[in-house]
Amino acid sequence: MTTQAILDAIQSPESTPADFAALPLPESYRAITVHKDETDMFAGLETRDKDPRKSIHLDEVPLPELGPGEALVAVMASSVNYNSVWTSIFEPLSTFGFLERYGRTNELAKRHDLPYHIIGSDLAGVVLRTGPGVNAWKPGDEVVAHCLSVELESSDGHNDTMLDPEQRIWGFETNFGGLAEIALVKSNQLMPKPDHLSWEEAAAPGLVNSTAYRQLVSRNGAGMKQGDNVLIWGASGGLGSYATQFALAGGANPICVVSSPQKADICRAMGAEAIIDRNAEDYKFWKNEREQDPREWKRFGKRIRELTGGEDIDIVFEHPGRETFGASVFVTRKGGTITTCASTSGYMHEYDNRYLWMSLKRIIGSHFANYREAWEANRLIAKGKIHPTLSKVYSLEETGQAAYDVHRNLHQGKVGVLCLAPEEGLGVRDEEMRAKHLDAINRFRNI
Ligand SMILES: C/C=C/C(=O)SCCNC(=O)CCNC(=O)[C@H](O)C(C)(C)COP(=O)(O)OP(=O)(O)OC[C@H]1O[C@@H](n2cnc3c(N)ncnc32)[C@H](O)[C@@H]1OP(=O)(O)O
Ligand SMILES: NC(=O)C1=CN([C@@H]2O[C@H](COP(=O)(O)OP(=O)(O)OC[C@H]3O[C@@H](n4cnc5c(N)ncnc54)[C@H](OP(=O)(O)O)[C@@H]3O)[C@@H](O)[C@H]2O)C=CC1
């Protein structure tokens, strides 16, 4: 049995749930992996010189056993997230440590502790099988999956599933991720695939859209409101392209930071007006490796005031980390919020705490999204309120190159990967709705 029969069933309009349930499962499938015996391959190299094309492999792997509450999904398309870049360069640590730790927790989790890690934290596809106890989903359902894996056995996570002590990111801290022909997920990760999108478009928003939603919109994050001035770093990147849309759709005023005129144009096309090209304006927040330059924070703040008519920032949408954090704290208004979910340029941040406490500012840590936030974020995509920001699509074989592009900041918005889908553009079920939003859906394509 091969994955071709699965693809044929997905592409046939006649296929019924019973047909999918009767499909024999293949013993193995193709998946993007990193290898445990290669974790030291980049030792001694600078971060930027670690090349994902060398560590990312396309392997034939055995199908994992399906457990209670789980689903096996035929993956039509996935996307590259920065967490797969981190995995592929083995920074800040090797993800095999996560798999080993998970494997020690219980008998079923042992499946995840393997000498290879199947990566990827997004998917759009079709349910093939569900495990015992799954009633809400059945074979043949067209789905996307969010990447929150939780056990929920502790009360700590019962109000906010991100607070579960056994919280993991699927395809980063667990195995059997989405950059593959078949993926294993907990069934609670599944959500309906938006009908007006192709497989690769539907797979693109998941992780970053949910993260931006919690970080910026949710009351667990910054709780953005109408009229807020929101400073968005990397405003045309993965997270930023959704943060910009949330700010605009929510009646806020995004101040978009980008690094090229082309990226500035993308932000303008989304509807943003206040845009800062950090490259053209040449901000140097660090004088050297150890010392920041508060005059540069001030120059940046002055530029923001020019763009806002003299106002300061209510919310900073932070993720570059060490390079920008001092400036982010400085430019925030009295009582404002810096919300952070990452540290791409370094996780040891430094800022002048006087500007934080004297001006009663708050720093909020945010990570992915809880079950409900992920569902709400996907609902906004399905309703055409927020759109995918897919720029380029690669084949599964080319995933290493796709991850390289993201690592070297050569991409725009999101980069997609076709898994079982033989070509782009398949899987659209609501052409009428698609037609209404076509320009917005294609805004990032081929630039
Ligand atoms: C959705 C997409 C997201 C992204 O893209 S995010 C970006 C990618 N992700 C990352 O870069 C994060 C990668 N992860 C990490 O770097 C690490 O994952 C963490 C730094 C987050 C955590 O490291 P850890 O080793 O898991 O935790 P510890 O706290 O350094 O060590 C655990 C030991 O420390 C003890 N401990 C914890 N808290 C305390 C405390 N408050 N007082 C005393 N001890 C403490 C524990 O018990 C345990 O101990 P014992 O090793 O003996 O089991
Ligand atoms: N905790 C969580 O749940 C999540 C964390 N993340 C993390 O967030 C980070 C960003 O992810 P994502 O948006 O998908 O990545 P992208 O690379 O798609 O976008 C990030 C953008 O940030 C800007 N940027 C990068 N470095 C710097 C810098 N030194 N100074 C200023 N701007 C910079 C760039 O835009 P430009 O060059 O135009 O300025 C870049 O395009 C990653 O570290 C990722 O691991 C991502 C998702 C979820």
**Average pLDDT along the chain, 447 residues, taken 10 residues at a time:** 89 95 96 98 98 98 98 98 98 98 97 98 98 98 98 98 98 98 98 98 98 98 98 98 98 98 98 98 97 98 98 99 98 98 98 98 98 98 98 98 98 98 98 98 92
CB 384 within 8 A of CB 436: yes
Closest residue by CA, ligand 1 atom 20: 92
- Which of 79, 83, 409 has most ligand 2 atoms within 8 Å of CB, for mutation? 409
pLDDT at 348: 98
Neighbours of 351 (CB within 10 A): 18
- What is the CA(152)–ligand 2 centre distance, in A? 30
- Which 8-state DSSP code applies to residue 151? -
- What is the CA(266)–ligand 1 centre distance, in A? 37
- Which 8-state DSSP code applies to residue 292? B
The minimum-distance atom of ligand 1 relative to the CA of 169 is 1
211 within ligand 2 shell (Cβ under 6 A) = yes
- The candidate with the shortest Cα–Cα distance to 215, out of 64, 359, 339, is 339
DSSP notation for 222-284: T---TT-EEEETTTTSHHHHHHHHHHHHTT-EEEEEESSHHHHHHHHHHT--EEEETTTTT--
From the CA of 92, the nearest ligand is 1
Q: How large is the ipTM?
A: 0.97
pLDDT at 11: 95
Please list, residue by residue across 420-440, b when 16 or more beta carbons sit within 10 angstroms of its beta carbon and e when fewer do: bbeebebbbeeeebbeeeeeb
From the CA of 82, the nearest ligand is 2
pLDDT at 447: 79
- What is the CA(40)–ligand 2 centre distance, in A? 25
From the CA of 239, the nearest ligand is 2
Residues forming beta bridges with residue 317, ordered by sequence position: 232, 339
- Cα 284 to chain centroid, rounded: 28
- What is the CA(171)–ligand 2 centre distance, in A? 19
Residues forming beta bridges with residue 116, ordered by sequence position: 35
Q: Would the pTM of this model clear 0.95, i.e. be above it?
A: yes
- What is the CA(24)–ligand 2 centre distance, in A? 41
pLDDT at 1: 56
414 within ligand 2 shell (Cβ under 6 A) = no
Ligand 1, residues at Cβ distance < 6 Å: 82-83, 86, 92-93, 147, 169, 207, 211, 342, 368
The minimum-distance atom of ligand 1 relative to the CA of 341 is 6
pLDDT at 2: 77
From the CA of 413, the nearest ligand is 2
